[in-house]
Amino acid sequence: MMNETTMNQSAKNTQVNAVQNDSRWAKIQARDISADGTFYYSVSTTGIYCKPSCGARQPRPEHVAFYASCAEAELAGFRACKRCKPGQPDLAQSHALLIAESCRLIESSDENLNLEVLAEKSGLSLYHFHRIFKSVTGLTPKAYSAANRAKKVRDVLGKNISVTDAIFEAGYNANSRFYEKSTQVLGMTPTSYKTGGANVTIKFAIGECSLGEVLVASSERGVCAIFLGDDATQLVNDLQDAFPRAELIGADRDYEALVAKVVCFVEMPALGLGLPLDIKGTAFQQRVWQALQKIPAGLTVSYSDIAERIGAPKSVRAVASACAANTLAVAIPCHRVVRIDGSLSGYRWGVERKCALLDLEKKS
Ligand SMILES: [Zn+2]
């Protein structure tokens, strides 16, 4: 190990330059927490080694050396700093471990664990648990359990048992909003809207996902509406507005399989929906909607990208209108279209939902 007294001036300058030109030096000066774990540095005058974020007095560059691991620093004869404790897992890592445990707990539980129980088991306050869970998983604990239940429904549905059993097995119990809302809404049906227009029959049902209520409706030709919202009754009204002359029929139990599928799809968009879609609209809208379906989950494009792709580069505004006219939330992924500067702009079902969907897609 070299020290100041034995190092001649030119060797010292070389050492100073080497350290100052190293990108890691800037991270030490910035006490960059995000660099913790990526390298360690030693200080020859004190004989200790630190994490980049260490709050201790900053060393002079001529006293610094870098290491990829604690073991390397120790091999070079340095001791771990008592202040930043480089040998111990940092807060972010221990949070990740804690949250991973909570996730396993949610996955293995048959019932819905409430936030209080989860927070208590993790030894964190309610507020911190919620915040840390979200920062580690990208989802709130509630959304995570919903996604997990949706996955269970899908797994069980794959085994060909009845939808109702599947939903119960997945932890949607008789008191859950899934049933409450659907019977409440189904109780209003069958209903004919606007006399004389009864040649189209539309079945629908309502489910619940992490984004709120989901209404799924289909004609004989396929799924014709997927609406998102907070209020089931409002969604049914929207359906009525979208198809004023159709006969709307609250769906039977079989139809709930479809809702379960859509809920899964909303929670885990990368899986793909795989349902026939009944896409109505002008020829232009259909071209836009087809282009939207080709955007893979997890990616976003701009309105002008879509305009280019359908060979109408000047029709950016019309593309935006076609996105807004989309009745098949998520299935026709208009949420993947953002402004050219990357900002989210509008979404028929609310910008917050657009944001949540894009977050979900990044995670899955
Ligand atoms: Zn330190």
Condensed to tens digits (0 to 9), the pLDDT of residues 238-249 reads 888 777 777 777
Exposure of 40 in the CB half-sphere (CA atoms within 13 A): 25
Q: Which secondary structure element, helix H or strand E, spans residue 217, and what is its range?
A: strand 212-219
- Domain 283-363's class? mainly alpha
| Helix 91-108 × helix 115-122 angle, to 10° | 130
**Known catalytic membership, residue 264:** no
What residue ranges do the domains of the chain occupy?
Answer: 4-80, 89-195, 201-260, 283-363
CATH number for the domain formed by residue range(s) 201-260: 3.30.160.70
Segments in the chain below pLDDT 50: 1-2, 157-163, 172-198
User: Would you state the pLDDT for residue 177?
Assistant: 41
Give the Å distance between the CA of 70 and the centre of ligand 1.
Answer: 12
Give the Å distance between the CA of 56 and the centre of ligand 1.
Answer: 6
Give the Å distance between the CA of 43 and the centre of ligand 1.
Answer: 10
Running DSSP on this structure, what letter comes out for residue 295?
Answer: S
**Known catalytic membership, residue 103:** no
Q: Give the Cα separation of 139 and 82 in Å (integer).
A: 35
Give the Å distance between the CA of 86 and the centre of ligand 1.
Answer: 7
89-195 and 283-363 share one fold = yes
What burial class does residue 217 get, using C-beta atoms within 10 Å of its C-beta: 0-12 exposed, 13-18 middle, 19+ buried? buried
Q: Which of 70, 81, 334, 355 is catalytic?
A: 334
Helix (H, G, I), strand (E, B) or coil at 3: coil
Give the Å distance between the CA of 55 and the centre of ligand 1.
Answer: 7
Give the Å distance between the CA of 22 and the centre of ligand 1.
Answer: 19
Beta strand ranges found along 254-355 (DSSP E): 301-302, 337-338
Give the Å distance between the CA of 84 and the centre of ligand 1.
Answer: 4
Q: What is the DSSP string of 137-178?
A: HSS-HHHHHHHHHHHHHHHHHTTT--HHHHHHHTT--TTSHH
Give the Å distance between the CA of 280 and the centre of ligand 1.
Answer: 64
Domain 4-80 has CATH 3.40.10.10: yes
Give the Å distance between the CA of 252 and the centre of ligand 1.
Answer: 65
Give the Å distance between the CA of 14 and the centre of ligand 1.
Answer: 25
Q: Which of 50, 84, 224, 323 is catalytic?
A: 50
User: Would you state the pLDDT for residue 312?
Assistant: 84
Q: 10 Å Cβ neighbour count for 37?
A: 16
Q: Give the Cα separation of 162 and 312 in Å (integer).
A: 47
Give the Å distance between the CA of 19 and the centre of ligand 1.
Answer: 18
Q: Please give the model's pTM, rounded to 2 decimal places.
A: 0.41
User: Would you state the pLDDT for residue 61?
Assistant: 93
- The fold of 89-195 is Arc Repressor Mutant, subunit A (1.10.10)
Give the Å distance between the CA of 195 and the centre of ligand 1.
Answer: 78
User: Would you state the pLDDT for residue 29?
Assistant: 92
